[in-house]
Amino acid sequence: MSVESILGQMGLTLPEPPQPVAAYVPSVRTGNLLIVSGQLPFAGKSLLAKGKVPTAIDMEQARAAAEQCVLNGLAIAKAELDGDLNRIKRVVRLGVFVQSEDSFHDQPQVANGASELMQRLFGEAGRHARAAIGVTVLPLDAPVEVELVVEA
């Protein structure tokens, strides 16, 4: 089943590929790797959520934000891959940054919002290496930023 069919079954749709918020590009190919810039949880022109986890943003919202970052990254990958997400052969790595309160240490659970979506969409090929980190502040007060490397 195609990746987009699975998205459809999950009730999810790919957004328009977000434009960079500054002087860089959405993605770069080098060899058979596609490096996708750090994605914020944009839904259209505004962020799905703003603030720190877990006070302003609870775990469920944070996981949804991480998922939205992945959808945005995949929209970019799709544009780069001639419109065909099934050309992704392997999800290689996710870097997940969580805008965290000083006492919050459950970044892995937030990052699972991103990781579980990848595995659901790509199956075995969606299983990736990951680093999940807690930071004080992210651009635009986003609760999560996710960068992707995929093989295509």
Site residues, a copy of itself (CB under 8 A):
20-28, 30-33, 35-38, 90, 92-95, 97, 100-109, 111-112, 115-116, 119, 127-141, 145, 147, 149, 151
| Tokens matching residue 107 | 């970044």
Shortest CB 83 distance to a copy of itself, Å: 20
CB of 6 or CB of 33, closer to a copy of itself: 33
Name the strand (E) or helix (H) holding 145.
strand 144-151
Q: Are 76 and 18 in contact (CB under 8 A)?
A: yes
CB of 85 or CB of 94, closer to a copy of itself: 94
CB of 4 or CB of 80, closer to a copy of itself: 80
Please give the backbone phi and psi of residue 65, each rounded to the nearest 5 degrees, phi first: -65, -40
Separation CA 75–CA 71 (nearest Å): 6
Shortest CB 31 distance to a copy of itself, Å: 7
Shortest CB 152 distance to a copy of itself, Å: 11
Shortest CB 1 distance to a copy of itself, Å: 20
CB of 1 or CB of 28, closer to a copy of itself: 28
Q: Which residues contact 99 (CB under 8 A, 6 or more apart)?
A: 51, 52, 53, 135, 136, 137, 138, 141, 142, 143, 144
